[in-house]
């Protein structure tokens, strides 16, 4: 189901706004922690390229760079789990809520066979129970669920990412910079079979798939037009999800 077709509208948009604010906060906090640890001063990248490898000025660039996964290339193998120098990988699964279908039968949460629709550990695809499934609404007789990752439990096995690709593909893997040591030679990058690990400017550490980028832009436009149409009208929506 596409985001445009989803009946979860105003309520979801407000939830999204809250989550994006939180994600932005996490990103900023991570970048700040990175700068603090490395002793480098924050500087804004002037290029519109999303990765340093795509930037024509890369050869002379002295701005801080960090590792990130390009979701357009990642095949969600298990090497992010096994090849990080940290005991618990710096890579974590992330859900793009703008792209998520909020499916009852989530193929990133449930295996494809021999399961029932409940949250028993035996019915979960995730080997560590890192994905929380929360009922949020029922519309037109169809229940909707929100899926969030407990990053302290995620081991970056990629199983949920592979499963989610059977539907919307909203789950993807990203390097978390509050954990990553920013090794000069990242051992996952060396082992990655898809050349999905790349350097990005430290001030824009997030990389989205093309579908997720399009979904976030569509949602931002929808939020903007909603804000304009509701200007001056008191909002009476309780909660975010």
Candidate list 55, 98, 130, 212; residue touching ligand SF4; CB under 6 A: 130
Residue 144 found at the interface with ligand SF4 (CB under 6 A): no
Report d(CA 198, CA 147) in Å as an integer. 27
Tell me: does residue 67 bind ligand SF4 (CB under 6 A): yes
Choose which of 180, 202, 211, 212 interacts with ligand SF4 (CB under 6 A): 180
SS3 string, the chain, reads CCCCCCCCCHHHHHHHHHHHHHHHHHHHHHHHHHHHHHCCCCCCCCCCCCCHHHCCCHHHCCCCEEEEECCCCCCCCCHHHHCCCCCCCCEEEEECCCCCCCCCCCCCCCCCCCCCCCCCHHHCCCCCCCEEEEEEEEECCEEEEEEEECCCCCCCCCHHHHHHCCCCCCEEEEECCCCCCCCCCCHHHHHCCCCCEEEEECCCCCCCCHHHHHHHHHHHHHHHHHHHHCCCCCCCCCCCC
Choose the binding region for ligand SF4 from 12-20, 24-32, 85-93, 230-238 (rule: CB under 6 A).
Answer: 85-93
Q: Does 181 bind ligand SF4 (CB under 6 A)?
A: yes
Does 15 bind ligand SF4 (CB under 6 A)? Our answer is no
Q: Assess 196 for contact with ligand SF4 (CB under 6 A).
A: yes
Q: Does residue 148 touch ligand SF4 according to CB under 6 A? A: no
Q: Which of 17, 23, 88, 183 binds ligand SF4 (CB under 6 A)?
A: 183
Query: Which of 86, 117, 134, 166 contacts ligand SF4 by CB under 6 A?
Result: 86
Nearer to ligand SF4, 55 or 74 (CB): 74
Q: Return the residue of 14, 93, 99, 100 that touches ligand SF4, per CB under 6 A.
A: 93
**What residues line the site for ligand SF4 (CB under 6 A)?**
67, 69, 74-77, 79-80, 84-86, 90-91, 93, 125-126, 128, 130-131, 149, 154-160, 173, 175, 180-183, 186-188, 192-194, 196-197
């Amino acid at each position: 189901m596409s985001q445009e077709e989803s009946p979860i509208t105003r309520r979801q948009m407000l939830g999204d706004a809250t989550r994006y604010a939180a994600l932005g906060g996490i990103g900023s906090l991570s970048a700040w922690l990175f700068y603090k640890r490395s002793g480098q001063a924050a500087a804004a990248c002037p290029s519109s390229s999303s990765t340093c490898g795509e930037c024509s000025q890369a050869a002379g660039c002295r701005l801080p760079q960090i590792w990130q996964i390009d979701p357009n290339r990642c095949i969600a193998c298990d090497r992010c789990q096994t090849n990080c120098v940290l005991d618990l990988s710096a890579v974590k699964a992330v859900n793009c809520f703008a792209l998520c279908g909020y499916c009852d039968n989530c193929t990133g949460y449930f295996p494809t066979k021999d399961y029932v629709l409940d949250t028993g550990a035996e019915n979960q695809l995730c080997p560590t129970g890192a994905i929380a499934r929360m009922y949020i609404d029922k519309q037109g007789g169809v229940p909707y669920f929100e899926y969030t990752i407990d990053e302290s439990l995620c081991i970056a096995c990629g199983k949920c990412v592979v499963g989610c690709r059977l539907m919307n593909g909203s789950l993807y893997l990203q390097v978390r910079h509050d954990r990553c040591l920013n090794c000069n030679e990242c051992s996952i990058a060396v082992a990655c079979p898809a050349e999905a690990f790349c350097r990005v400017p430290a001030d824009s550490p997030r990389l989205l798939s093309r579908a997720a980028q399009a979904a976030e832009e569509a949602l931002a436009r929808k939020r903007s037009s909603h804000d304009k149409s509701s200007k001056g009208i008191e909002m009476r929506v309780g909660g975010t999800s």
